Homo-oligomer: A and B are copies of this chain.
Amino acid sequence: MRLTEREIVAVLRHHHYKITPQRRAVIQTITAVTSHVTPTAIHERTHREHPNIGLVTIYRTLEILARLKLICELHAGDNCPSYTIGTPEHHHHLICSGCGQVIDFTRHDLTKLERDLSAETGFEIKSHVLDFTGFCGSCQKQKHRTT
């Protein structure tokens, strides 16, 4: 269900963005990683293979990918600075406050609520965010330990 590097590149081409080695490298990093990661983390990973890619390029590339909805931007309560991942289709999140892991889920349809709210308030609703926060199994155990 996740987009491949190929597909992402195709979308960029279609929007007349140039396919540079740097952009390819960022896309590779993102598609390779399964978790939500920060711009800095993406830079570090990409930097390994591509030693002189600048952090600025990471920011610029992420901005494009996010605008085209090719990646998912996450603003989680605590570690807010916008997070991203390689799962583009609409989904919701389950975030562990302990270890930071993020589980995506697609369950739950909010279109009815959306329609009702729209009718009541006159808003034209474009999108929504539904994120749950808590503690994953192993983080719960850790909390109960004395050491």
Q: Measuring CB to CB, which residues of chain A are less than 8 angstroms from any residue of chain B?
A: 73, 75-77, 80-82, 94, 96-97, 103, 105, 107-108, 110, 113-114, 116-118, 121-137, 140
Contacts and interface: CB of A to CB of B under 8 A. Distances in A.
21 contacts: A73-B77, A75-B75, A75-B76, A77-B129, A80-B80, A94-B121, A94-B125, A107-B116, A107-B117, A114-B132, A121-B136, A121-B137, A122-B140, A123-B134, A123-B135, A126-B134, A126-B135, A127-B134, A128-B130, A129-B129, A129-B130
Report whether over half of chain A's contact residues are helix, strand or loop; otherwise say mixed: mixed
Given A75-B80, A136-B121, A136-B122, A129 B131 contact: yes
Contacts of A127: 132-134
How many copies of this chain?
2
A122 to B, nearest CB: 4
A121 B94 CA distance: 9
A73 B144 CA distance: 28
Nearest to A101: B123
